[in-house]
Amino acid sequence: MKRHLLILLLSILSTSATIAQTQYFFYVQLNNKQNSPYSLSQPEQYLSQRAINRRVAYGIACDSTDLPVNPAYIAEIAAKGVKVHNRSKWLNGITVRMADTSIVSQIRALPFVKWVKYTGQMNSAALPAPRKAKFGSEAYNYGTAATQINQLNGSALHNAGYTGKGIHIAVLDAGFNNVNTNPGFDSLRLQGRLLGTKDFAEPNSNIYALDAHGANVLSIMTGNLPGQYLGSAPHASYWLLRTEYAPSEYMMELDFWVSAIEFADSAGVDVVNSSLGYTTFDDAAMNFTYADMNGKTARASIAAEMAAKKGIVVCNSAGNDGSRTWKYIGSPADADGIFTIGANTSTGTPSSFTSYGPSYDGRVKPEISGMGSSTAIINTSGLTSTGNGTSYSSPLICGMLACLLQYCKAEYPNISPDEFYDLVLHSSSLYNAPTNRMGYGITNFQQAMTTLAAFSRNDRTSENKLKFAYLADKNVIRIENPENDKNVIVNIFDSNGKRFFSNIVSENLFEIDSSQLPSGIYFLNINSDIKRYSGKVIIQ
């Protein structure tokens, strides 16, 4: 953790002009979303079609957390003389910044404000600081990346044609130095797979001129120097999202992170990589304790779990504190339902620095592990190099999970997020005896393919035994359940993700009244104890 005593001393002794450059950040928790102009019946107002499609495919209904923060509340807060820096629809709060902190009392007095808390400061006059340590059907030539890919049996997916194509990945990090010019990213740029960039820390900055950490992380997934290097998801598409402010470490960065992952969700990403973690801060009053690492305390952890529940595969580095006083995972690595990634050596033993689990409430953490010692990367000069840290094991695993997700979508599109999660854990080396440094171990992605193939074949043997159809003459959707499967749950969504029907049925033959449904395409998700089905009907 950095200490900027010189900068702090200068700020105390500086002139009033310099003091005016200091911006103070506060998180404002709102009471409600009442009188919102947004509606759950029109999710296209605030979600991309790709995000809606992901929810429909997984049977996840839009709910109140998807509704944006009430713009009337935002406008009234901004009118007090502050700048709205970030907003979180999932947590229903905003981050504001100001030079005059006396305004805070006015914001606290607003009837729709629940509470306000100081989260840190930025000084635009501060000199740039050094990068913060982060936790941190063809044969493919991986070059220097061969060891880390082969340890995961990742080539089985790549050689079968699953290299991440069509999968959208958001990378949350500190900066992406030279990604716009680095020859290691030529393929990313020329193939149109760089979906866009956004800075949640300093919105007007040039993320390509900032911290190199995110660029190194990105290279592990999509770097390509023919004959020298190839990443773990070389054909996936990427959003580059900056959430870190390098010169300091304050609580406000978690709120930047929350806004970024919400943006990633609304943009329709499939996978998120975050090689970031938070435990202690420049203001010790903000410090977390190990007891806070329960997935329910830090706002970033809460948001990470929500992202997973909305169908996103979330990867976060476990941390590099294994040999330090704080030896445990941080936030958002403590979130439930995500993949927290530990680090191991090329021989499969835990890296000396990888942080310990479990979460404070006793869940296995990290979930899985990847090579984080002497991990091959492409540096900002476009040359192959190596680095250490869970910052680097996380994108390695993240890229492979993207390839596995592509395989699942092609071969077994009915797989649920929970089934995907379990598939990965079951395919890992320590599944029967997880440890607090490597979790369930090193995932064997060839084994995951084999397991999924067997699962898929077994399911197909009875796939025609449960049928559904729209009967126009009767205005009903009929579902036949000849084997009388138990606990059959039926969900019906429209093309915008709005759920029209959800119920548990047990009859061999049952019909759902569709007379009140407008004409259009409807998606059915039917789940029993042992099978999953999805399909669509057209009501005219």
Indicate whether 385 and 477 sit together in one domain: no
Tell me the one-letter amino acid at 257: W
> Is 90 exceeded by the pLDDT of residue 494?
no
Considering only residues 25 and 477, tell me which one the structure prediction assigns the higher pLDDT.
25
Quick one: residue 4, left, alpha or beta (phi over 0 = left, psi -120 to 50 = alpha)? beta
Indicate whether 354 and 472 sit together in one domain: no
Indicate whether 375 and 484 sit together in one domain: no
pLDDT in the model for residue 489: 78
Q: Which residue has the tokens 């709005």?
A: 498
Indicate whether 517 and 368 sit together in one domain: no
Residues 6+ apart with CB under 8 A from 186: 224
**Mean pLDDT highest for which of 47-61, 136-150, 216-230, 462-476?**
216-230
pLDDT in the model for residue 20: 44
**pLDDT, mean of residues 207-235:** 97
Instruction: Please indicate, yes or no, if residue 428 is contained in any of the structural domains.
Output: no
Instruction: Please indicate, yes or no, if residue 287 is contained in any of the structural domains.
Output: yes
Number of domains in the chain: 2
Indicate whether 391 and 483 sit together in one domain: no
Indicate whether 528 and 381 sit together in one domain: no
Lowest mean per-residue pLDDT among 340-344, 401-405, 523-527: 523-527
Q: Which residue has the tokens 């109140």?
A: 64
The tens digit of pLDDT for each residue in 327-363 reads 999 999 999 999 999 999 999 999 999 999 999 999 9
What angle do helix axes 299-309 and 252-266 make, rounded to 10 degrees?
10
Work out the mean pLDDT of the chain and round it to a whole number. 88
Tell me the one-letter amino acid at 496: N
Indicate whether 488 and 380 sit together in one domain: no
Indicate whether 198 and 347 sit together in one domain: yes
Lowest mean per-residue pLDDT among 286-290, 369-373, 438-442, 489-493: 489-493
Instruction: Please indicate, yes or no, if residue 444 is contained in any of the structural domains.
Output: no
Indicate whether 275 and 174 sit together in one domain: yes
Instruction: Please indicate, yes or no, if residue 516 is contained in any of the structural domains.
Output: yes
Indicate whether 391 and 485 sit together in one domain: no
pLDDT in the model for residue 528: 66
Indicate whether 479 and 336 sit together in one domain: no
Instruction: Please indicate, yes or no, if residue 358 is contained in any of the structural domains.
Output: yes
What one-character-per-residue DSSP string does 27-63 give? EEEES--TT-S--TT-GGGTS-HHHHHHHHHHT----
* 51 confidence band (pLDDT: 50, 70, 90): very high
Range of the domain at 194: 146-403
Strand positions, DSSP E, 131-193: 168-173
CATH number at residue 381: 3.40.50.200
Q: Percent of the chain beyond pLDDT 70? A: 88
Instruction: Please indicate, yes or no, if residue 355 is contained in any of the structural domains.
Output: yes
Structure tokens at 537: 């009907």
Of 375, 403, 431, which residue is a domain's last? 403
Of 403, 421, 436, which residue is a domain's last? 403
CATH number at residue 533: 2.60.40.3080
Indicate whether 181 and 269 sit together in one domain: yes
Of 353, 378, 403, which residue is a domain's last? 403
Instruction: Please indicate, yes or no, if residue 518 is contained in any of the structural domains.
Output: yes
**pLDDT, mean of residues 219-237:** 98
Q: Is the distance from CB of 296 to CB of 334 less than 8 angstroms? A: no
The tens digit of pLDDT for each residue in 455-487 reads 544 444 344 456 777 888 888 888 877 666 666
| Length, in residues, of the chain | 540
> What's the gap between Cα 52 and its chain centre?
16
pLDDT in the model for residue 1: 34
Q: Could you give the count of Cα atoms lying within 13 Å of 319 in the half-sphere of its Cβ?
A: 29
Instruction: Please indicate, yes or no, if residue 58 is contained in any of the structural domains.
Output: no
